[in-house]
Amino acid sequence: MTIRLYYTDPYRSEFTANVVDRSEDGTRVYLDETAFYPTSGGQLHDTGTLGGIPVVDVIDEDDRVAHVLSAPLPPTPAPVAGVIDWKRRFDHMQQHTGQHLLSAVFEDLFGHKTLSVHFGPDYSTLDLDAEFLSRDRMMAAEERANALVAGALPVTVTFEDAATAAGLRKQSDRAGTLRIVSIDALDRSACGGTHVRSTAEIGAVLLRSAERVRSATRVEFVCGVRAVRRARKDFESLTRIATSLSAALDDVASLVAAQSERLKESDNARKKLEKELSSFRARELYDRATPDANGVRTIVIRDAATIDELRTLAQGAFEFQKVVVVGVLRSPPSVLLAASEDSDLDAGKILKERLAAAGGRGGGSPRMAQGGVPDAAVLESLVSTLVSRV
């Protein structure tokens, strides 16, 4: 059994221990005691060195802890030295204690219980039993959490019998001894993770977003140094935007909103003009096409830049009677086939058959279909079969 030093002293970053077992290649090592926290309870594992060799993973194997190394640890009868990456460890402590704080705040303020948590390398999340979380509630929870951080409430660890442990935010289904992490006068939770000694050490708490996930709400948050880094990154992004717009930072939001509205109006005007232009061009192409014995006119378009342009032209051609449009794109080699309803042709069926014969794929509705072929070499023969068949 591995004695877990982090249970009683999460601030311990160096230790020595004896090797009690190891894999044949020496890259998986078991110690009689360890300060390395394994991935558990949603919290990521520690990294650092063991005997000077980087620890790349730490795995909880029930009664013992496996240390996965980047290289074999040489056999030695002497104790080996372990060094925890303290920057990573303390970051995890800030996030985990911050999560306990936020879970308690959301439950106290709004009755929203925490369903699950996830701690990631960049941000963490907690899922609340709320179908919707308003911005006002988000801000209220963030303000309350930071006030409790400023209050420097003690965070303590006790070991209590599961049968008598009372006042837990979430009842544990484990028997025997529980490790209880308490935030003074605020929260008591059964937890095996590493935590800071005071809410003051959590640092700033920043709630970044809330999104609906099935019947719950997922809240993304960062604490401590992560919150500072995230705020700095956000500030620099806003500064670049403000500089590109030659605007003051505080004016960016309203300026971007106004420009977005103008862009939307311009885009709508452009689409309207494109539709009108397509109608004029479709009329020109229709007039130049010669009707076949059934009165159907086939328009072939080779100079469109995109498939969307082809579709727009085909829609414009549908203003006329008995018309078929064959559109060609060189890159990627693609073809569009459109047939008006009174042409008595099924564009989807025809194109799918011709594409299959040419080694291509595609399809669509009786009115409009599109697809591609492996290379431009077969494109012209495909177009010829479509035009001649029509």
Task: Give me the pLDDT at residue 77, please.
Answer: 84
**Domain layout of the chain by residue ranges:** 3-84, 90-240, 278-389
Tokens in use for 104? 């308690």
Task: Give me the pLDDT at residue 389, please.
Answer: 60
**Please, are residues 306 and 329 in contact by the beta-carbon 8 Å criterion?**
yes
Task: Give me the pLDDT at residue 390, please.
Answer: 53
Overall pTM surpassing 0.85 (yes/no)? no
Determine what percent of the chain is predicted with pLDDT higher than 90: 61
366 exposure class (CB count in 10 Å sphere: 0-12, 13-18, 19+): middle
Q: pLDDT (tens digit, 9 = 90+) per residue, 306-324?
A: 888 888 888 888 888 999 9
CB count within 10 Å of CB 314 equals: 28
Residue with structure tokens 């018309």?
323
Task: Give me the pLDDT at residue 27, please.
Answer: 97
Closest CA to 42 of 233, 192, 267: 192
CATH 2.40.30.130 fits 3-84, yes or no: yes
CB count within 10 Å of CB 64 equals: 18
What distance in Å separates the CA atoms of residue 346 and residue 367, rounded to the nearest whole number?
Answer: 7
**Please, are residues 88 and 121 in contact by the beta-carbon 8 Å criterion?**
no
Fold of the 278-389 domain: Diaminopimelate Epimerase; Chain A, domain 1 (3.10.310)
Fold of the 90-240 domain: Threonyl-tRNA Synthetase; Chain A, domain 2 (3.30.980)
Residue with structure tokens 């194997």?
61
Write out residues in the chain with pLDDT < 70, as ranges. Answer: 389-390
